[in-house]
Every structure is written in structure tokens, then in C-alpha cells.
Chain A
């Protein structure tokens, strides 16, 4: 009887906690969307920003955010995949491995402004790459690596031992087992991790201010040659992202409607993240079904 009552009380408390959390989350989302959406229009989404007072659209920033995200993921996913496999499969349980793990986690807890300045002094100044998409992508990779590596390792380790043994007993190499059998099973977990880190990349501002820069030169969207200076695909052009734009509007925005514009940009950012999450989720479960042939 006592245990049952405890069970009931606990359930009520947990429900209450969830209600509060959901309440906070919804308040936040509603606040951003209600404040921002009325100012979002097609011309706002696609137009160019006036570099003077920040009025006008956010088309270039939106593109930059996505482009930077793609580049970051292109750099960080392969590296963290390899590192995750190392930690899950090859690393022995000794002090060296735990040192490596600690080092990776320390990397993720560095304040973004420090990573940004590191990127600035190293890539922008020392290697003379300048304020560019690629500098920004490398700086963001620093953030992404620990999060992704950890996530991939966990997803891989969570796959049951019997699958691993089955692969090895078939005479497959450890590597083949890992890539051919374990990885597909771990895919949904990995996708979640990628989505979470993509969210972080999308919302990151402090690290990009000093690396990708805070100017969005009008790019020529008819020119898709990555080598041209005006091409949107040129990785060596400075690229203000949406999050940096929001930061700039809030700190130095001169327009009389700066608040409304930044609210609108925030709303767009949230929706972009939402779409991205949904897309990744659908893709993740599709891939999972394809690769494992399960329903």
C-alpha cells in the first residue's frame, strides 16, 4: 500500500515537473514566434541586408547559416566518426583513454568566445585565411567534435555485443563489423546527436564574430563557381550568419525597428532549426529502415 502510494505521488510529481518544463518551453517558443512572425515576409526572407542600419532582409544570412552548417558537418562528421569508432572499439580501458576522453570533454566546455579568438588568431591572422566561411567552419568544428564524438561513441557502444560477435564470427574484420553492422544499427542515435549539434552550430554567435565575420557582402546567387569572389559558394568570403546578425542587431542595431527585425530573425532561425530537425529525423529513420531492413 505504502509503495503504491509512493508510486502515485512520484507520478504526480513527475507529471508536474513535465508540465512546468513544457510550460517554460512553450512560453519561450511562443514568445519568440509571436514577437517575430508578424514581421516575417517573403522579401524579408530573401532580401539583402542594408549594411548601414541592418534593415532589409536576411536572405544572405540565412544562406550563410546553412552553408556554414554544411561545411562544418562535412569536416566534423568524418573526424568524429573515426574518433568515435576508436573510442568504442579500439581504445583500451586505461588511463590514456580516460585522458583522451577528458581532453575531448574539456574542449566542449570552453566558452565560445575563447574558441572564436583562437580561430581568429590562428586562421584569420596567422594563416591569413581572413574572415571567411572556412575559418568559421573550422571554429565551429571545434565545438562540434566533442559533442559528436561522444554521441557516436555512445551510440556505437549501445549496440548489443551479440551483433559484434556475429560479425566477427562471420570472418569479417573488426572494421568491417563496425562500419557494416554496428554503424547502421547505431544510426538513429547518431542522427539525434548530429541534429543536436546542428542546433548548436546554428545558434552559435560568439565564436563566429571573430572568424566568419560580421559582414554579409551581397553575393551573386547566379554565380555558382566556388572560386569566384562573389559566388555564394566561395568558402573564403566573409559570411555573417543569422545568429551573428541577431547579435549585431541587438548590440549595435541602429534601425528604429531593430527589435522587431531581430525578433523576426530569431523566429526564422527557430523555424529553420525546426525544419532541419524534422528533416534529419525523417532521414534518420528512413536510413535506418533501408540499412537494417527492419520496420
Chain B
């Protein structure tokens, strides 16, 4: 049997080898021996931040070929737990460490790398394009159960929530529910799942990061403020949060360099925006862990 799998692997390997040859040259040419930066950097956590960190990471290692940089998902909780335990160099999180029980936030250093705006989304057949903040709160606390009560179609509201403890849900609940409990409802743990369910389920409502909007679902304005990057930057649109990279103690040289790279113009002005996130440099306000917003 081993032989069988070896054979299969061999075939796959040979077919890949043919392609690999073409690629090998490109990776060696990008080795600019600038600084002799070396070391191992592991970033683990938020799945929402993962693509950005991964892309920035591969650009970073293209310049610093001696650095072994790995970016993994696993969830904000995993990221914070593991950076606190010292198992990884960077813990990615969509949530302030202060907001998580069991995390000693004063032991960790926060590096904000991007801002993500979120907005309620509904299935298109509801006919809803704008809601009042109070209405939105009533929907998610279960006081309003039919779309006709808020000027939509006569249809039952199907709430899709995010998993308890997830950063997205915490952000939404802080901005909209302000302390009251959401009604028990469906829970999904990823943007992709919410996107699919809301666009296919009649009467569905949930909330998504801006970058996951598609033409198959309807993003809802709140009190006639539209969910745009500009409105987030001025805090006119209230539902937004930071993407954090947490480190513990004094990070090593490679980690420091990578964090500096994340904050650089190259990343903030291109990658962050391509990702549908908002550059940390463009923000005109600052939010702290308690949700207090101050003008810059």
C-alpha cells in the first residue's frame, strides 16, 4: 500500500516539478541581501486578519529571505491565548485584549494594523435599505420579528448572529445593542458562511465586514448614514473595530521589523485597501478598549 501512495505522490511530484522549475528563478532573484535579519516569526489568530498578514508576510520575507515567517488562523481567542502563553510571537486579534476574560492585557503590547468597518446586511427580498439604530437593536433583541414592522415586506426575520465571543459580534453588540443581550438565534463563525446564508435565506439579517459585501445581499444604512470607509474614518459610522497584532514582552528583531513593515506606507496604502480594510493612517478618530472615541 505504501508503494501505491508513494507512486501517486511521485506522479504528483513530477507534474509539479515541471512547473516548479519556472518558479524557482523568480524567488531567488528577489533575494536582496539588505539587512541580515533572521529569525522565526509566527503569527496566529484572527481569520479576518489572516489574508492581510499572510500577504504582507510573503512580501516581507521576499525582502528578508532569512526570516521564517508563518501566518496562521485559528481565531482571535487562540491568537491571544497563545501569545500570552509565549507560544507564538504575534497574536492576531479582532478584539482588544482587555475585552477578553483570562487575558492579562497589561502584559501584552497592542499594534493596531488596520481598521475594519462592519454593517448590517439583509437578504435582498426584505426590501430594506435603511434602518434606525433603535430598530436594529429591537431586531437583534427579538422585539421586532417581522420585516413589515420596519417598512419592509411581510416576512419573518431570520437572525444570523456571529459566534459568542467573536470579535465581529463584540464590535456589533457594543455599537448597536449597548449592553442588552441579543436574542438566541443562529450562530455562524465566519464571514463566508454568513455571506452565503444571508444571500440565500429569505428574510435573513446579519452583519459583515465591508469587504464581504456582494451584489447578492443588501448592506443596510443606519439612520441614513451609509457604510463607507469615509464615514468610518470620521466615526459617523459607528460599527468598526481595529485589527490588532499583539506581542508579549520585548519582541525579537525580526518580529519588530515585521510589525514596522505592517505599519509602513507600502502595506497601509496598498494591501490594507486592497483587502477592503481601512488604513490606520487615515483614521481621524481613535477608539480605546472601552469604546470611547476621541478625535485625533
A residues with a Cβ closer than 8 A to B are 46-48, 50-54, 59, 62-63, 66-67, 69-70, 73-74, 77, 120, 124-125, 130-131, 190-191, 194, 198, 209-210, 213-215, 217-223, 229-230, 232, 238, 248-254, 256, 258, 275-276, 279-280, 283-284
Contact = CB atoms under 8 A, between A and B. Distances in A.
Given A52-B55, A52-B271, A77-B2, A221 B72 contact: no
B29 interface: no
Interface stretch (B10-18, B110-118, B176-184, B282-290): B10-18
A213 B70 contact: yes
Interface residues of B, number: 54
A127 to B, nearest CB: 11
Contact of B21 (A51, A222, A283): A222
A254 B27 contact: no
A251 B78 CA distance: 17
Given A73-B1, A279-B8, A63 B16 contact: yes
B138 interface: no
B87 A252 contact: no
A254 B57 CA distance: 18
B8 A215 contact: no
Given A46-B19, A52-B275, A221-B23, A70 B5 contact: yes
B7 interface: yes
19 contacts: A51-B54, A66-B5, A66-B13, A69-B5, A70-B9, A73-B2, A125-B82, A131-B70, A194-B1, A213-B70, A214-B72, A215-B72, A217-B70, A221-B13, A238-B70, A251-B192, A254-B212, A254-B276, A279-B8
A208 to B, nearest CB: 11
B24 A220 contact: yes
A220 B19 CA distance: 10
Given A214-B72, A221-B17, A229-B68, A198 B24 contact: no
Given A254-B212, A283-B4, 12 more contacts: A46-B15, A51-B57, A51-B71, A59-B19, A69-B5, A131-B70, A209-B74, A215-B70, A222-B24, A223-B24, A251-B193, A252-B73
A96 to B, nearest CB: 30
B51 A254 contact: yes
Interface in B1-55: 1-9, 12-13, 15-21, 23-24, 27, 42, 47-48, 50-52, 54-55
A217 B72 contact: no
Contact of A51 (B51, B68, B85): B51
A209 B73 CA distance: 8
A135 to B, nearest CB: 11
**7 tightest Cβ-Cβ pairs between the two chains A and B:** A221-B20, A251-B190, A51-B54, A52-B55, A46-B19, A251-B192, A283-B4
A250 B276 CA distance: 18
A214 B276 CA distance: 21
Nearest to B70: A238
Contact of B48 (A50, A214, A252): A252
A67 B193 contact: no
A108 to B, nearest CB: 19
Contacts of A63: 12-13, 16
